[in-house]
Amino acid sequence: MMLDYKAGVFIHVARCLNISQAARDLYISQPAVTAAIQKLEEHYGVKLFLRKSWGLELTPAGVLLYSHLKELAKASTGLENEMMRLRGTLHGRLSIGAAPTFGIYALPGLLGLFSRSHPEISYSLTIGNNDRVYADLLEGKIELAFLVGTLPGKRLVSRKVMDDELILVVSPHHPWSARDAVKGSELPAQPLILREKGSGSRKDMEEAFAEIGLLPEELAVIADFNSFEAIKQAVTANLGAALISRLAVKEDLARGRLSSVRIEGAGLSRDIYAATLPETRLTEAASSFLQILYREKDPAHPG
Tens-digit pLDDT string for the chain (303 aa): 456 788 888 988 998 888 888 888 777 889 999 999 999 999 999 999 998 888 899 999 999 999 888 878 777 666 665 665 655 555 677 889 999 889 999 999 999 988 888 888 889 899 988 888 988 888 778 889 999 877 776 678 889 998 998 999 999 999 999 999 999 899 999 999 998 887 778 888 888 888 888 888 899 999 999 889 999 999 999 999 999 999 999 999 999 999 999 998 887 888 999 999 887 778 888 888 998 888 765 544 433
pTM: 0.68
pLDDT at 299: 45
Among 123, 150, 131, CA closest to 285: 123
Q: What is the pLDDT of residue 267?
A: 79
Among candidate residues 128, 42, 110, the one with its CA nearest the CA of residue 295: 110
Tell me, what amino acid is at 60?
P
CA atoms of 69 and 5, how far apart (whole Å)? 12
Q: How far apart are CA 256 and CA 177, in angstroms?
A: 11
Spatial CB neighbours of 106, under 8 Å, sequence gap ≥ 6:
162, 247, 272
pLDDT at position 277 is: 85
Q: Which one, of 252, 211, 212, 206, lies nearest residue 228 by Cα? A: 252
Indicate the helix (H) or strand (E) that contains 52: strand 49-52
Phi, psi of 293 (to 5 degrees): -65, -45
- Determine the pLDDT at residue 176: 94
229 phi-psi bin (left φ>0, alpha ψ -120 to 50, beta other): alpha
